[in-house]
Structure 1
Amino acid sequence: MAQAREGVLDDATVERRLKEELPAWRLEDGWIRRTYKTASWKSTLMVINTVGHLAEAAWHHPDLTASYAWVEVRLMNHAAKGITEKDFALARKIEEVVSWQPGTEGGALEGTPSDPRFAYIKYDK
């Protein structure tokens, strides 16, 4: 049984929702995109693996481009040929997990030390 095609969101809706829900993300060339700056190749691989885990669990797969100190995540629903609710849902989960800073929450987890030897993500402030 074939699944119904998901509704593709128009560019104006995508732009508005990105501004409201995911301000670090942008619409470019038919994809919603986010570039995460990292401190090293090790950090870059950790971000890629994190995104990979979330994508596989969600069964919705982004395109990734990476270099030594950055990872770009691109989402677009290939089957629907545009941006859908699936893209927003996965982008929110990626943003939540990759941008998580436990040291700012005041709980038992202190987060990555400020020592440059342990640098990880270059968080947006």
Structure 2
Amino acid sequence: MAGQREDVLDPGMIAERLKSELPHWIFEDGWIKRTYKTASWKGTLMVINTVGHLAEAAWHHPDLTASYAWVEVRLTNHAAKGVTEKDFALARKIEEVVGWNPGAEGGSLDGTPSDPRFAYIKYDR
């Protein structure tokens, strides 16, 4: 699936855009990164599978590191050798889906119960 080569974004622009668009993400060592805290291994696996689905659908694949109660997502465009618009687009989608908290929205979807047995992700407040 060859596409046009993406332009690498300037580090200063990356930092500014992260601050305004993705405040929980950082720019470090040529990657944009975000660590999601989860409630348990079950939540960690759910985040990994969600990110995997989104990445495969986008045909743009992050590096992941995981432990019992966290997942680190790292994005860079390997072909372009730097951070591009693709990385920002996928990061926004990951943030939207993983961070979705229907219980905070109201409506007919309640979200997960506050009972720790059902905890999933530790939402940013």
Fold similarity call, TM over 0.5: yes
In structure 1, distance between residues paired with 2:6 and 2:54? 20
- 1:121 deviation in Å? 0.3
The corresponding residue for 1:105 is 105
Paired residues for 1:79-90 under 5 Å: 79-90=79-90
Q: Deviations over 1:40-98 (max 9, x none)?
A: 11110000000000000000000000000000000000000000000000000000000
Does residue 51 of structure 2 align to residue 51 of structure 1?
A: yes
Separation of aligned partners in 2, 1:57 and 1:4? 18
How many residue pairs get aligned? The number is 124
Cα distance in structure 2, aligned partners of 1:30 and 1:74: 10
Instruction: Find the aligned partners of 1:119 and 1:111 in 2 and give their Cα distance.
Output: 10
Alignment partners' CA distance in 1, 2:80 and 2:29: 15
Q: What is the deviation of 1:3?
A: 4.2
- 2:69 maps to 69
Distance in 1 (CA, whole Å) between partners of 2:107 and 2:84 is 35
Against the structure 1 CA distance between its residues 106 and 9, is the aligned structure 2 distance closer, same or farther, given a 3 Å change threshold? same
Distance 2:32 2:101 in 1: 23
Question: Offset at 1:109?
Answer: 0.2
Secondary structure in structure 1 of the residue aligned to 2:110: coil
Residue identity in the other structure for 2:41? W
**2: distance between equivalents of 1:6 and 1:52?**
22
d(CA) in 2 for partners of 1:103, 1:41: 22
Superposed displacement of residue 5, structure 1: 1.7
- Aligned residue type for 1:115: D
Mark the runs of 5 or more structure 2 residues left unpaired by the alignment. Answer: none
CA positional deviation for 1:4? 3.5
Q: TM-score, normalised by structure 2?
A: 0.97
Which runs of at least 4 in structure 1 moved beyond 6 Å after TM superposition? none
Structure 1 counterpart of 2:46, one-letter code: M
Matched letter for residue 79 of structure 1: A
Identity of aligned residues (%): 81
